[in-house]
A = this chain, B = another copy of it.
Amino acid sequence: MAHHQSARLDRSFAALSDATRRGVLERLGRGDASITDLAARFEMTLTGMKKHVSLLEEAGLVITKKVGRVRTCKLGPRRLEDETAWIERYRQLWDARFDALDELVQTLTNKEGQ
């Protein structure tokens, strides 16, 4: 995997490692919202919410736009394709690993029965 791709996975998985940030993504999935709306919805200070939104923005998961005094947030262009692909590959390795262990146990059990 190229270095920049890997760095992007670092940022997106880190962005997803917090319940509030996952909640913000789900909320924005139902419609755009201002930082003030989000802070109120998640019972958080504006400063706290700005930090969460910055991390989501750096990960490419959220885009913000300031119009007048209001900063509106919406979902970014990333659909978590690479993250899904990584997890899917891991699950295949995991399955193969545990299938191999099952087979080994089966072989040993059969030998014992002989």
Contact assessment for A97 and B83 in the assembled complex, using a CB-CB cutoff below 8 Å: no
Chain A stretch 1-53: residues in CB contact (< 8 A) with chain B:
6-7, 9-11, 13-14, 16-19, 22, 25-26, 28-31
Copies of the polypeptide in the assembly? 2
- 30 A-B pairs within 8 Å (CB atoms) are namely A6-B22, A9-B22, A10-B17, A10-B18, A11-B17, A13-B14, A13-B16, A13-B17, A14-B14, A16-B87, A17-B17, A22-B86, A25-B90, A26-B89, A26-B90, A28-B97, A29-B90, A29-B93, A29-B94, A30-B93, A31-B97, A75-B97, A75-B98, A79-B91, A79-B94, A80-B90, A80-B91, A84-B84, A84-B88, A87-B87
Chain A stretch 71-88: residues in CB contact (< 8 A) with chain B:
75, 79-80, 83-84, 86-88
* A67 → B minimal CB distance (Å): 18
Q: How far is the CA of A59 from the CA of B10 in the complex (A)?
A: 16
